[in-house]
Amino acid sequence: MELRAFQYRDRALYCEDVALADIAERAGTPCYVYSSATILEHYRAYDETFGATPHTICYAVKANGNLALLRLLAQAGAGFDIVSGGELFRVLKAGGDPARIVFSGVGKTAAEINDALTAGIFNFNCESEPELALIDALAHRRGIQARVALRVNPDVEADTHHYISTGRLAHKFGVDIGEAEAIYDRARKLENLLIEGVSCHIGSQILDPAPVMEAVDRVLALIDRLRAKGFDIRHADLGGGLGVAYKPEESTPSIADFVTKLKAKAEGRGLRVVLEPGRSIVAAAGALLTKALYRKKTGEKEFVIVDAAMNDLIRPALYDAYHEILPLRLSGSPQIRADIVGPVCETGDFLARDREMAEVMPGDALAVCTAGAYGFVQATTYNARRLSVEVLVEGDKWRVVRQRQTYEDLIRGEE
């Protein structure tokens, strides 16, 4: 039974054994709060379900790159999926093992590739022929060989928001799976590459695993063909993408069920399976705490104006995403239907629209749930709003793992 990071006890919302009202009071709002136990539980569900099948779980740093979270995962033995030199820097700072880092992304610069070669990462997931050529040239200069996989685009449709679906030929990611063999053949001439993998990732927030399994079948068939041609393919990187339930009534495959399916496909082939999960590890482990400032009614609508905004959590504005919003204290007050909006000067600045919820009074604190993934990392300082504080809970203890920005931080480097 999955542990729920956020639960009511005596009508007060807790994260693990800490009352969120205490954190809101002492750290202030807006404030991101993360449950370390939940993050570890999710990581371990991946790791333990694979069991003896060779595997590397490379947590996708883009979902939440806070150093304290990365350290937690590094200590649990996780690898990391990075997409920039900045993410590499973070992982190394957090004590991540370079030999378990995969580097994904369509636009790696020469400087980023050099940094990754210096660190000695496990593998580059290459997304084009010119990128293969550049990595080959940079490895040659150092007199080393770089381990690479080609990211193929299997041309399957992941049933998710169109901004985060990546596996169709119309998308910018990877190379057409139909052209992959020819590219592998040409890449044989690049002597400074060890061509040892195939990778794919068809999208994020995937609730139906069927398209992923279809993509896996196509990737495995490609690996069979490549091996028949003499390529020493040792690993299949099957990306991330497993979705989470944002609404209480939504159902998602459990991590264990998802991995069991993948494992069944890959087993017996002498392949290491690499996965790059982000959201499914951290989303449900995090909430954004905010405080109600005002209530107001227009002719048509009721608004609750809170102190968190689209700059803190952009998912509702950008993807029309739904996040459950819970009061930190249950009051039994009547239900209202309202838009929960922030102070930013945009009509798109909302955290929820037409939401039925218990009445909220100014001063009441709320938790915007399932905000641990793509929350803080997508925050901006729009409207000169400071990046919020982040807190990590461990049992009955909590600590600030990123301080709220100061106004001085906001202008650092400007003249």
User: Under the rule (CB under 6 A), what is the footprint of ligand LLP?
Assistant: 60, 62-63, 81, 104, 164, 201, 204-205, 239-242, 276-280, 315, 319, 373-374
Closer residue to ligand LLP (CB): 30 or 239: 239
Which residue is it, tokens 């940079």? 138
Residue 231: phi, psi to the nearest 5? -75, 140
Closer residue to ligand LLP (CB): 211 or 240: 240
Closer residue to ligand LLP (CB): 63 or 68: 63
Active site residue 345: yes
Closer residue to ligand LLP (CB): 187 or 255: 255
Which residue is it, tokens 């009721």? 302
Name residue 186's amino acid. Answer: R
Which residue, 153, 173, 154, 155, is CA-closest to 163?
A: 173
89 C-beta neighbours (distance < 10 Å), count: 14
Closer residue to ligand LLP (CB): 190 or 212: 212
Minimum CB separation of residue 281 from ligand LLP in Å reads 8
Which residue is it, tokens 């991946």? 46
Q: Which residues pair with 292 in a beta bridge?
A: 306
Minimum CB separation of residue 194 from ligand LLP in Å reads 21
Minimum CB separation of residue 21 from ligand LLP in Å reads 27
Minimum CB separation of residue 153 from ligand LLP in Å reads 11
Question: Distance between CA atoms of 253 and 257, rounded to whole angstroms?
Answer: 6
Report the phi/psi class of residue 294: left, alpha or beta, with left for phi > 0 and alpha for psi in -120 to 50. Answer: beta
Which residue out of 15, 200, 345, 369 is catalytically annotated?
A: 345
Extract the runs of DSSP E, i.e. beta strands, from 160-267.
175-176, 193-199, 235-237
For residues 240 and 204, the answer to whether their CB atoms sit within 8 Å is yes
Q: Which residues pair with 390 in a beta bridge?
A: 32, 402
Q: Which residues pair with 391 in a beta bridge?
A: 33, 400
The residues that are catalytic are 345
